[in-house]
Amino acid sequence: MSDTDEADDQRYDPASVEQKWQQVWADLDPFRAADDSPREKRYALTMFPYPSGDLHMGHAEVFALHDVAARYWWLRGYEVLNPMGFDSFGLNAENAAIRDNEHPATFTYANIAISTESCKKFGTSFDWSRTLNTSDPEYYRWTQWLFLKFRERGLAYRKESPVNWCPVDQTVLANEQVIDGHCERCGAEVTKRELTQWYFKITEYAQELLDNLDVLAPTWPDRVINAQRNWIGRSEGAHVTFEVVDGEPLTVYTTRPDTLFGATFMVVAADAHLAAQLVTDEQRPAYDAYLEEVRKASDIERLSTERPKTGVFLGRYAVNPVNGEQIPIWAADYVLPDYGTGAIMAVPAQDQRDWEFAQKFDLPIVRTVQPPADWEGEAYVGPGPAVNSANDEISLDGMEVDEAKTAIIGWLEQQRAGTGAVNFRLRDWLLSRQRYWGAPIPIVHCAKCGEVPVPEDQLPVLLPELRGADLTPRGVSPLAAAEDWVNVDCPSCGGPAKRDSDTMDTFVDSSWYFLRYCSPHETDRAFDTDLVNAWGPCDVYIGGVEHAVLHLLYARFFTMVLNDMGLVGFREPFSAQLNQGTVINEGAKMSKSKGNGVRLGEQLAAFGVDAVRLTLVFAGPPEDDIDWADMSPTGSVRFLQRAWRLSGDVTSPVGADASGGDVELRRATAHAVHEAGELVEGFRFNVMIARVMELVNATRKAIDSGCGPADPAVREAAEAVAIMLSLVAPYTAEEMWSRLGHEPTVARTSWPSVDPDLLVESSVTAVVQVQGKVKARLEVSPDIAASELEALALAEPAVARAIEGREVRRVIVREPSLVNVVV
Ligand code: ANZ
Ligand code: ZN
């Protein structure tokens, strides 16, 4: 205190201390996670960003939130793995590079350097010794290796099928990357193309991916659980096989086998191979013309009930197995080629799309479920007894839907015309991309040997630099055009062959990076299984809800496969999850065109790192959006100064025994510390800050008009403030800690211990009523016995007066707070 002058003591300048502490932290390296630490391990993971430029407000928010949990765990005595890296392959960098006429690597690595620097300035507790970039050959070598392992297990395969095609990015997209019929990245309308592509067989894990959601539900956000459930889309029903007149039998998937008597026609997806096989010569011209139209529509449009129905008769008939009737087979776009079997039995009376189709093309409609008497709608999907559903062998008539389903499935199985079946909406994951900036698929195509995997000791298949080449997409990938690279000797027969010129979707890269962090410098394997099992699964995963289905589903799938391979000891990678809200401005998403962007750099310069972090964390529950226009970083600055000033006022020496100190302040400290811990564990970070603010106020009051600055309880409180504040405002906390006479770093001290006695309320107020009217209030111990409370209440003069002369019928005691006397 003696060597600080008055002015200095009243405020501190964030800018001047930030640099100082960055240097101290760089020297101390306090967050380096030790694999061999005897402490219990925790793994705090935040979604790694793609290096699109410098950090923005969204990064600032998620890192600030994430840091609260990570720093808290260190203080609670855990060894914390808190790594950061970059999802550095992908279209983003490639498109930016094309725009700026640069190489994607130049753009990518420059941005990684800038973002890393910014992350450090932001005071995050990441362990930079473990950083990784998915575009580094040391990393993608193992992405390629994993691909080959998946292929060996039959989980990576190539097939030709109609795929989503983005005409702007000139590449295929996974179903998950098509949002409402548009490309997730560029917004262009997605069309269909028939292409040979690589797939991961994620459908083999559909049931487990679904089942485990029940286990994750308590610790994952509801919206993520629901999104995954819907995406996996399990349904139960039956496969029913229809004989086709002069053709191969046709099998359909239906969730309503009970309505089979009402199946009056069949519909095949117009763009399924099946349709092309079924169509008669006579109908072929009409079919070909129709197919042309269908290819232009997105899946969402196709499934819409509002869309006018279109279709074409294929010239053929199927036989309904329950009544032998011949029903026409049509092709239409409202049936999708890659769902179920790509063909349906149409039941217009019970399915609205079938109804509309039947109306439009004048096809028969037969009700097989009796609608309620007042039913005026069209297709009826509700409950009711079956009608018109009997043949010589079986009658469903009168049965409710579920009973009828069981009965008809039994009959179909007997007839060998069908079986009970489960279907998933989840499709296999299309992983190949016709773009440059990604991990090359390590396969060689040989005319003699077919698909030949690149031998493991020849990995990585390096991405050729192609400096100066035009990477603008033109339908064929830039790699396919790179003759020197594409043409190779076949690893198997030595003859001339070609490399697979597709690269992997970046979601492949990000499906295993959290495993690599556990042993990031490993050169002879993807990761060290023992270390993965020691650190994993991740105790918390913090990131954007936009990854609810894509990344999170893929990473779960990878983990399950790696577990089956014996490389990972768990089946679910992320034990708990938190999705932060979005930082918006003036009620709208920040965008260049709206001109409402807020630059992180400017905010940091104006208010200091801590105030920006505090503002973001204090704004509200972490899941809620933050409108920056409604925030008050100046208020945060003021609060931080207030907290900081406490550290200059303390006059008791370091280590002063607080046990004899001011009890009221000690209680306030104990409560704040205790609750703050629980609040952090529950991700209620904003409320935690409110508790710290209250403690700052209580301490100020104690100094100015209570026990005074020399009381050791004041030191205890100020130290607790510094430690708790270090979760959000590391610079201020570090300054406080040092002014309180401690060595850095506050981040690696211990969370304050709380004397449980101080948490016990010393007294509570008990209300005494007579006939429901309050007659007295008593200060009693919170653990008073009922009999004692009753005796005390009846002894109160006011109570005695109120009872006087009347008989006490009953005394109701709710210790410790209420006594009600009934007379
Ligand atoms: C007859 C039927 C009658 C159907 C009825 C529904 C109601 P979920 O629950 O999503 O699995 N379907 C099957 N394959 C299809 C495809 N490739 N494209 C479009 N629709 C398809 O839905 C299964 C139901 O969706 C199936 O049951 C089938 O129509 C249709 F009163 O069969 B249903
Ligand atoms: Zn060969």
Please choose, from the candidates 549, 556, 559, 573, the residue with its C-alpha nearest in 3D space to the C-alpha of residue 174. 549
Distance of CA 263 from the midpoint of ligand 2 (Å): 51
Is there an atom of ligand 1 within 6 Å of 344 CB?
Answer: yes
The alpha carbon of 438 is separated from its chain's Cα centroid by a whole number of angstroms, namely 23
CB hemisphere CA count around 266 (13 angstroms): 34
Place of tokens 């306030």: 668
Q: Which residues pair with 240 in a beta bridge?
A: 252, 418
For 609-622, how does the pLDDT look when each residue is reduced to its tens digit (9 = 90+)? Answer: 999 999 999 999 99
Burial of 98 (0-12, 13-18, 19+ CB in 10 A): middle
Give the integer Cα–Cα distance in Å for 152 and 28: 46
Please choose, from the candidates 168, 90, 77, the residue with its C-alpha nearest in 3D space to the C-alpha of residue 135. 90
What would the two tokens of residue 421 be? Answer: 């079946």
Identify the residue whose C-alpha is closest to ligand 1 atom 9: 235
- The amino acid sitting at 457 is D
Residue pair 768/774 in contact by the 8 Å Cβ criterion = yes
Give the integer Cα–Cα distance in Å for 19 and 121: 8
pLDDT of residue 296: 76
pLDDT of residue 472: 79
Residue pair 89/97 in contact by the 8 Å Cβ criterion = no
Ligand 1 site-directed mutation target among 210, 251, 253, most atoms within 8 Å of CB: 253
Please choose, from the candidates 697, 678, 699, the residue with its C-alpha nearest in 3D space to the C-alpha of residue 688. 678
Is there an atom of ligand 1 within 6 Å of 251 CB?
Answer: no
Is there an atom of ligand 1 within 6 Å of 619 CB?
Answer: no
Distance of CA 208 from the midpoint of ligand 1 (Å): 23
CB hemisphere CA count around 411 (13 angstroms): 21
Ligand 1 site-directed mutation target among 255, 266, 408, most atoms within 8 Å of CB: 255
Give the integer Cα–Cα distance in Å for 432 and 477: 11
Residues in the chain with pLDDT < 50?
1-8
Ligand 1 site-directed mutation target among 351, 378, 402, most atoms within 8 Å of CB: 351
Give the integer Cα–Cα distance in Å for 791 and 108: 78
- Sequence-separated (6 or more) residues with CB below 8 Å from residue 244: 250, 278, 316, 317, 318, 319, 329
Is there an atom of ligand 1 within 6 Å of 235 CB?
Answer: yes
Give the integer Cα–Cα distance in Å for 732 and 645: 10
The ligand that comes nearest to the alpha carbon of residue 344 is 1
H/E element, 646: helix 633-649
Identify the residue whose C-alpha is closest to ligand 1 atom 20: 335
pLDDT of residue 295: 80
pLDDT of residue 167: 86
Ligand 1, residue 257: give the atom nearest the CA.
1
Measured from the Cβ of residue 796, the count of other Cβ atoms closer than 10 Å reads 17
Q: Which residues pair with 319 in a beta bridge?
A: 243, 326
Burial of 278 (0-12, 13-18, 19+ CB in 10 A): buried
H/E element, 704: helix 685-705
The alpha carbon of 144 is separated from its chain's Cα centroid by a whole number of angstroms, namely 25
What would the two tokens of residue 182 be? Answer: 């548009």
454: left (phi over 0), alpha (psi -120 to 50) or beta: beta
Stated pTM of the model: 0.87
What would the two tokens of residue 233 be? Answer: 């889309």
Is there an atom of ligand 1 within 6 Å of 230 CB?
Answer: no
Give the integer Cα–Cα distance in Å for 1 and 280: 96
Distance of CA 503 from the midpoint of ligand 2 (Å): 21
Identify the residue whose C-alpha is closest to ligand 1 atom 7: 351
Give the alpha-carbon dihedral of 675, 678, 679, 682, to 10 degrees. Answer: -160
pLDDT of residue 421: 97
